[in-house]
Amino acid sequence: MSNDDHWITTRITKARKRHPLVTEVVCARIDQLLTGQFSERQLPSTALTSVARALIVDMVPAPPKTEANQ
């Protein structure tokens, strides 16, 4: 893991401890954005709007798994 990736992982881990309601999906998306799209170039406002919408959708917790019909 490079130093660039290490600081991202560290920050996400610390943030997750302080805000446990943030879903794993959001953390994964943020990690992906910080190591990819956000680090590659400046983003237009439409792209940022799209990212914000996706993060909001990702905050919906996964429904609990139900047992199969008995």
Question: Nearest CA to 27 among 58, 2, 52, 50?
Answer: 58
Domain assignment present for residue 21? The answer is yes
Please give the tally of structural domains in the chain: 1
Domain assignment present for residue 68? The answer is no
Domain assignment present for residue 28? The answer is yes
**Predicted TM-score of the model (pTM):** 0.66
Q: Which domain holds residue 17?
A: 3-58
Domain assignment present for residue 51? The answer is yes
Domain assignment present for residue 64? The answer is no
Domain assignment present for residue 14? The answer is yes
Domain assignment present for residue 44? The answer is yes
pLDDT in tens, the chain (70 residues): 566 678 888 999 998 899 988 888 999 999 988 888 787 778 888 888 998 999 899 888 777 777 665 5
3-state helix, strand, coil in the chain (%, to 5): 65, 0, 35
What CA–CA distance (Å, rounded) separates 23 from 65? 16
What CA–CA distance (Å, rounded) separates 63 from 60? 9
- Identify residue 21 by its one-letter amino acid code: L
